[in-house]
Amino acid sequence: MLINGDARNTMSRIVSLHLPAWDPDTYGTEGLEPHAHGLNLVVAAQQPVEMRIRNDSQFPADPAADWVPYQSTLENWNLGAPAPGSIARVYVQFRDEAGNISLTQADSIVYCQPDRDGNGRLEVPDIQTFASRWRATVGSPDYSPFLDMDGDGDIDTVDVMMVARDFGSTCE
């Protein structure tokens, strides 16, 4: 599993997940190398049909809970509310047609403040970017998921407050 293509940090709580699954019976294991984070990408004996994803490692004990159809890429995953400079983690499990559940896979990324101009500091121009897109919603030309901090489909007071809370912070 990779968050934002294995990026080291992110300035958005909304990320993309690459969720590779590997069927060793079909494809073999020759040339398979561990991921840089030490993750084993051989996740199940059969191709997965379902997956479940969380921001913590506590999957429900109920084996029927939280399963969704498998996708190799998931856009717009919300990391929740990590503090600036903290490590956000995402966990995934896969399940095949026979009901076999893979080992838990994980990746992590450092969440930085929402710096919109890319200078590593959250300053007035960054907040002005939010103001210029005020009340934009999914589908409107001014909407940007990069500015929708809570991932709810609009740029509103909640998003501005999330940015204002981190004002003056830096990310290197």
Of 39, 58, 63, 54, residue with least CA distance to 92: 54
Which residue did the predictor score with more confidence, 45 or 72? Answer: 72
pLDDT tens digits, 47-58:
778 999 999 999
Question: Is this prediction's pTM over 0.85?
Answer: no
53 φ, ψ to 5°? Answer: -130, 140
pLDDT of residue 89: 93
Whole-angstrom distance between the N-terminal and C-terminal Cα of the chain? 24
Of 55, 49, 59, 60, residue with least CA distance to 21: 49
Per-domain boundaries in the chain: 2-111, 124-165
pLDDT of residue 22: 58
pLDDT tens digits, 20-43:
875 555 444 444 344 333 333 344
DSSP symbol at 121: B
Which residue did the predictor score with more confidence, 124 or 43? Answer: 124
pLDDT tens digits, 81-123:
887 778 899 999 888 888 888 888 899 998 876 677 767 777 8
